[in-house]
Amino acid sequence: MTTTRLKYNSVKGLMLFCLFAIMSLKSCMVSAQSSRKQLDELISRKAKAWDDSIKGLKLKKQPLYMGAELSMAVPQYILKSRVAALDGLRVNYLGTNIGGVIGNPIGKLKANVGMYYSEPSVPYTMEMLQGGISGNIYLLRLKKIQYHSFEPYTTVGFSRQQTKFYGNYLPSADNSTTGQNNYSVTDQPLLGKTGFTQMNVGAGIEYQLENCNNLFVHLFAEINYGVLISSNASRTAFSGTRLSTPTTVSLGISFGIIK
């Protein structure tokens, strides 16, 4: 009798333990399901927010690039002039430009000003101040806006330059009656100034670096060919002086913010 009661109590205790274990397991499963549901809802919300942000980017207006530009340029041309010392002279300059840029993924507008000095290979000293405005069109984005590290482009613009001529190849004001030059002066005197307005067309390639902080850095190499539109001179001797086959090669960097 005692043995039977012990067995009964043992079975009863085992049943109670199993029932407790089942209830605990069920509770854990419910809790796990609840946690998984919360996790799924969280992921779903994030996925929806991400999808909305992507759609928002697609609907958002095109980004606007605003910044500055620095470049080094090498203009060169052949002079045509009534001054014998200048006629047929090939002139090479070296100088720098500074300016501003504004653009979008399709293209860019630039305005700059630069100072140039004739290279040592040129027999006479010349200084040139130039200002201009130009526009670039990215060729690979004409049909579809798709970003590339290297973006080829075409450019067209207008420039105005003023050139100062120094030397001893014209009679100076104080020697004009004798027609002799004063070679005792160490610094070459200013003989006159000319102004040229020209249209420029060219091509280039740009290496674009951009980041998630809405900053951009664009490196570029460019070549331009000029077409003379008008010219003027401060002195009769330089009237009729004009440029032939003007060409400019530029290397530079533009940088700024993306709005």
Beta partners for residue 35, in sequence order: none
Q: Give tens-digit pLDDT for 11-52.
A: 455 455 455 444 544 454 444 444 445 544 554 554 454 444
Select from 203, 197, 193, 194 the least CA-distant residue to 248: 203
Q: 3-state DSSP: the chain helix, strand, coil percent, rounded to 5?
A: 25, 50, 25
Q: 94 exposed, middle or buried (CB, 10 Å; 0-12, 13-18, 19+)?
A: middle
Q: Residues with Cβ < 8 Å from 131, sequence gap 6 or more?
A: 111, 112, 113, 114, 159, 160, 161
Average pLDDT over residues 210-221: 89
Name the band, by pLDDT with cuts 50, 70 and 90, for residue 149. confident
Average pLDDT value for the chain: 80
Query: Could you tell me the CA-to-CA distances from 133 to 53, 156, 198 in Å, in that order?
Result: 37, 9, 11
Q: Please name which of 146, 152, 133, 144 lies closest in space to residue 218, comparing C-alpha atoms.
A: 152
Nearest-angstrom CA–CA distance, 50 and 57: 10
- Per DSSP bridges, beta strands 215-233 and 65-80 are unpaired
CATH of domain 65-258: 2.40.160.20
